[in-house]
Amino acid sequence: MNQVIELVKTNAKKEKPSVESLGFGKYFTDYMFVMDYQKDKGWHSPKITPYEPLVLDPSSMVFHYGQAVFEGLKAYKTKEGKVLLFRPDKNVKRLNLSCDRMSIPTLDEDVVLEAIKQLVELEKDWIPEEEGTSLYIRPFVIATEPYLGVRPAGQYKFMIILSPVGSYYSGQLSPTKIYVEDQYIRAVPGGVGYVKTSGNYAASLKAQEEAEEQGYDQVLWLDAVEKKYIEEVGSMNIFFKVKGEVITPKLNGSILGGITRDSVIQLLQHWGVPVREERISVKDIFNAYHKGELREVFGAGTAAVISPVGELKWKDEQIIVNGNQIGDLSMRLYQAITNIQLGKEEDVLNWTVEI
């Protein structure tokens, strides 16, 4: 990778927010990365510049036809002051998978990885160090061409912005309440559900709002065709421990292939815990509960890492999982993954990348 990334310096540094006020995605650092695409020039002019507003024509295609993809990953600071990324190569690959599905020109993966590293290195003082905190990294691509015809745009911007984020759990891990959605649909095979494009998230908001009105934290999506099979939860993948075995829905073209999902599967295999990817009907999960075989349910995603599920509602039935307590396996996975991310535990599967 010999691509030179230009640096435009700023003297106007922001004051860093207190750890208590962090939350998620509210504060942004002093710099951002920007690279432009034009049909005749390809991706060009990679730059790190002061964090600043975008100036875009109102006809920019992203506002109208939604060509937009993104990624999310985190940088952590270890006790020794090292800066670690968690499996960033997977995010970069998935970014290109998303680009390809959305007819956006793919990026040079080495350039993207190098851009993440240089930007995080420059902004490493922004990485909070308290338990559960991290520096969230948001790479994204948007269509910027000013044109109202429906076709792939001829101009794009790829950017990376950084946000120091607080612990997902205030205090400690706590079980969530999940509503099994049987009216709204998130995605369908042949559609775009397996990639991180903006429209998938917009399409999920209504169901999420209605679930919240009924007192639930998140929605569990079912398949679009039969409304029988489990896909994913809100913005996480989902796992069930049934008797001694862990199962998770098989990637089928409408489920996002989460990197935490993949990490959970690999860790379980490494530990010798049986784990299978398969088509899972919600009925089978409720049946397992009634037979006393449903031991744990948990979500896996970048934001929460592992999110234990304490309650599931499907149609008129509510079930309480594991007495609404965090299961042992959920806790073990949460601790193992966060310990690896923070360099507190041996990186047995070679996942972290030091900057």
CA-atom Rg of the chain in angstroms: 21
Shortest Cβ 351–its own copies spacing (Å):
24
Per-residue x/- marks for its own copies, 84-113, CB under 8 A? -----------------xxx----------
Residue 2 exposed, middle or buried by CB count within 10 Å (0-12, 13-18, 19+): exposed
**Considering only 75-83, 108-116, 219-227, 260-268, which stretch makes contact with its own copies by CB under 8 A?**
219-227
Part in contact with its own copies (CB under 8 A); list of ranges 19-27, 119-127, 257-265, 346-354: 19-27
- Do 139 and 91 touch, CB atoms closer than 8 A? yes
Contact yes or no for 301/260 (Cβ under 8 A): yes
Residue 174 C-beta: closest distance to its own copies, Å:
18
Closest contact distance (angstroms) between CB of 78 and its own copies is 24
Burial class (CB within 10 angstroms; exposed 0-12, middle 13-18, buried 19+) of 347: middle
55 binds its own copies (CB under 8 A): yes
45 binds its own copies (CB under 8 A): no
Phi then psi for residue 184, to 5 deg, are -80, 150
Provide the sign of the torsion angle of the four alpha carbons 197, 199, 200, 202, taken in this order: positive
Q: How far is the CB of 130 from its own copies (least distance, A)?
A: 20
Cα separation of 178 and 271, whole Å? Answer: 28
From the list 4-12, 80-88, 194-202, 340-348, the region that binds its own copies by CB under 8 A is 194-202
Q: At 63, which amino acid appears?
A: F
Indicate whether 200 belongs to the interface with its own copies (CB under 8 A): yes
Binding to its own copies (CB under 8 A) within 274-293 occurs at none
Token duo for residue 104: 């956006």
Residue 21 binds to its own copies (criterion: CB under 8 A): no
Hey, what amino acid is at 299?
G
> What is the residue whose two structure tokens read 């984020």?
165
Residues at the contact surface with its own copies, assessed by CB under 8 A: 23-26, 28, 32, 51, 53-60, 62-68, 70, 101-103, 136, 138, 140, 142, 146-152, 159, 161, 163, 183-192, 197-206, 208-209, 224-225, 227, 234-235
